[in-house]
Amino acid sequence: MMYKDADYYIQHLGLEAHPEGGYYKSTFASEKTYDAFGKTRKQYTSIYFLLGEGDVSHFHRLKSDELWYFHGGSSLIVHVINEEGDYVEHKLGLDIANGESPQVLVPRNSIFGSSVVATGKFSLVGCMVSPGFDFEDFELFTQSELLEKYPQHELIIRKMAYEKL
């Protein structure tokens, strides 16, 4: 299948700008709810998410697990600083023989962001969050906040975090 360009998907899927970077559209939300984090949350939510060439999804944290699914375009790198402070790079894509995976799990409370591979034009993925996403559970970070806690990851933090919010 020949993939269109990023603008094609932004227009035809009705994607809009996301505060962390890139474009998104909510697609599904569970009708079932339960108590999580002292509030009522949907069991799961799902979105389309698109990053264009040179875009980054800036470092942020969720209270929930987030499962990423590759849909098309170029491969995506999901950058994660886990709760132990270790940096892990996951490659989301279909080139399995070269270390990519069509699904990637980002565990709750991890700090993470994403970027299109260096030679890529755009990446279209899906993200499912459980318990369901709520902006109240979403936390963006500045470079200075992260450098204070994780100075050993300076290069990736300077690439993936906002200088100022």
Give the closest residue to 143 by CA, choosing from 80, 58, 61, 79.
58
pTM of the model: 0.94
Number of domains in the chain: 1
pLDDT at 45 over 90: yes
- Distance, CA of 123 to CA of 48 (rounded, Å): 11
Asked if residue 37 belongs to a domain, the reply is yes
Q: What is the pLDDT of residue 2?
A: 58
In tens, the pLDDT along 96-149 reads 999 999 999 999 999 999 999 988 899 999 999 999 999 899 999 999 999 999
Average pLDDT, integer, range 10-39: 94
- Distance, CA of 161 to CA of 77 (rounded, Å): 15
Asked if residue 1 belongs to a domain, the reply is no
Q: What is the CATH number of the domain that holds 53?
A: 2.60.120.10
- Distance, CA of 150 to CA of 157 (rounded, Å): 9
Cβ-proximal residues to 8 (8 Å cutoff; 6+ apart), any chain:
none
109: phi then psi, degrees, rounded to nearest 5: 65, 5
Domain with 82 in it: 6-160
- Distance, CA of 101 to CA of 67 (rounded, Å): 12
